[in-house]
Amino acid sequence: MLASQRGCRISCALSTSQFGILGLCGRPWRVVPHKHGCTRVGPVVSRRPGRPMPSRGTSRIRRAAVEEESTQGEGAQLYLSDEEVDELITDAASFICVLDDLRPLDSATYNPFYEVWTRIARIPPEERYRLLDELEPGSLRSLWRASMARYVLDEARSLELFSEASVWDDFPRAPGQVFGYEGRCESYQLGGSRAVTLERLDRGGGGRGAALSPALGGDAASVPTTPWLRPSVGAPELQTGSFKQLFFVPVPPEGGPGAAGGAAAAGGAAGGPYSDLLRQLEPAAPRIYSRVVLPLAGPIDRWWDPLYSRLRVQLALTPLSRDAGADLQLLYPEDPAAAAPDDGEEPQNPTPASSPGSGDGWALVGPQCLPPATGLFPWPEPEPATYGMSPLSGGPRDYLRVAGPGVYVGCAYRQGPGPGEYREENFVYFVIARRY
C-alpha cells in the first residue's frame, strides 16, 4: 500500500471513543472499543430498518444473510438497500486495508481472522465479489497474513464462525456443476537492498532449511504492482491484475468410476425410489477441479487456454516456513499429487498427471469430462502436457486459506533466481470471491 493511501485510510490510530473522524468520500466514521479489546474504526451504518421498495425493482434490493430474533422468537431475514450494502462492503474493505497498521489494546484476545470473517459475513453473499474492487493495492498480502490467525483462534469463536459453515458449501458437489469466482492478484516490487532471499529449501535433508533472513519488516520499501502471468511454458507473459476461476466436478464417463456418485446426485434431487441407496454410494468428497480464465481485452477472455487444476481441501505446509500452512491447494498437472488417489496422501511413486501412465486420480481425460458450455465459447480440451503449471506461480501448486464465507486468499510462491530459493518480490498474492 502506498504511503499516501495508507495515511488516508488510517488517520485513526486513536484509543478513545469521544471523537468522530471523517472517512473516505466524506462519510462519517466513528471509533468504538471492540469487545475483544481492539480499537475499531468503521463507517456509521444506517440504523433505519430495511424495507421492500417495489418501485425500484427487485434487482435494486439485496437480501442480506443476517438474521435477528423477532418477537415470536423466529429468525427473519432483513432487506438491505443499495446504500446499506455499499456501507457493509466499505467497512470490510477499509478494515482489510489497514490490517498492518492496527495496534490491538489486548493482543491476547484480538484475532485478525475473526475480525475479517465477521465483516465479510455481514455482506450479502451475492454481493461479496464486489469487495475485490474496493481493496487498495497492498491489502492482499495483509489479508494473507491475517488469515493465518485462524490456526490460533480459540474454540468458542471457532464454533461461532464454523458451527453452520463449511468449506464444501463454497464448491460444487454434483457432476457438471460449476461455481464461478472473481479473482484479483498483485505482486510487490522491492528495493534492491530489500530483495533478499527469505528461505532456501534444504534439498539434501528433504525438508525446509533455516531462513536466510528475518521477515521483512520494512513494508514501506515494497510497492504493489500488477504481476506478469504466463499461461503456459514458452508463452508470452501477460500483465493483468484480475482473472476468473471456475470450480467444477467432472462429468464421469458412462459406466465409469464416479457414475454412481452422479446417479446419487440425480436420484437425490429427483426423489426416486432408490435415492436413499444412491446417496450412500455417493462419495463424501467428489473430485473438484478448477479452470483459470485470464482476460484478453475488455469483456473478452482467453477462453482457449486449458488452465486446469485439481482442488485439494487439506491442511498442508507452505514452502515458506513463516507462512505456516494452507487450508486448500490447487494442484496443476505437473504436481504428482494431482494424479494421486482420493485418500489425501502424497503419492509413493510420484508421476505427474501430464505424464503417460499417471495415476487414476486425474479425471480430466478428454472433453467429454468437462461441463457443458454456457456461453459462446466451449470449454477448451485439457492439455496437461502443455498447460501443466500455474499461471500465477509458474509452479505446480498454489496455496489458499479461508478469509471469509465464499472468499479465499492465496499465495503463489514463485521460485528464483535459483532453484529452491524464495523471494517475496517473486510472490503473487491473490484473492477469489464467489459470484452467484
CA 140 vs CA 242, 297, 298: distances in Å: 13, 24, 23
Check: CB of residue 378 under 8 Å from CB of residue 347: no
Q: Is the pLDDT of residue 193 over 60?
A: no
> Which pLDDT score is estimated for 13?
35
Lowest mean pLDDT among 2-11, 164-173, 417-426: 2-11
270-311 tens-digit pLDDT = 344 444 443 444 446 789 999 999 999 888 899 999 999 999
Could you give the CA distance from residue 101 to residue 85 in angstroms, rounded to a whole number?
A: 25
Q: How many CB atoms lie within 10 A of CB 80?
A: 23
What percentage of the chain has pLDDT greater than the value 70?
A: 63
Domain ranges of the chain: 3-67+76-160, 168-250+287-435
pLDDT at position 115, please? 96
Give the pLDDT mean for 347-368.
67
Report the SS3 class of residue 83. helix
Judged by average pLDDT, the poorest of 15-19, 64-68, 233-237, 427-431 is: 15-19
Q: How confident is the model at residue 163 (pLDDT cuts 50, 70, 90)?
A: confident
Percent of the chain with pLDDT over 90: 44
- Per-residue confidence (pLDDT) for residue 61, from 0 to 100: 40
Q: Is the pLDDT of residue 146 over 60?
A: yes
Q: What is the mean pLDDT of residues 35-59?
A: 37
The mean-pLDDT minimum among 32-41, 174-183, 280-289, 374-383 falls in: 32-41
Query: pLDDT: is 129 or 212 the higher one?
Result: 129
Indicate whether 381 pLDDT > 60.
yes
Gyration radius of the chain's alpha carbons: 23
The pTM assigned to this predicted structure is 0.74
Least confident of 66-70, 337-341, 425-429, 431-435: 66-70
Residue type, 316: A
The secondary structure of residue 415, as a DSSP letter, is B
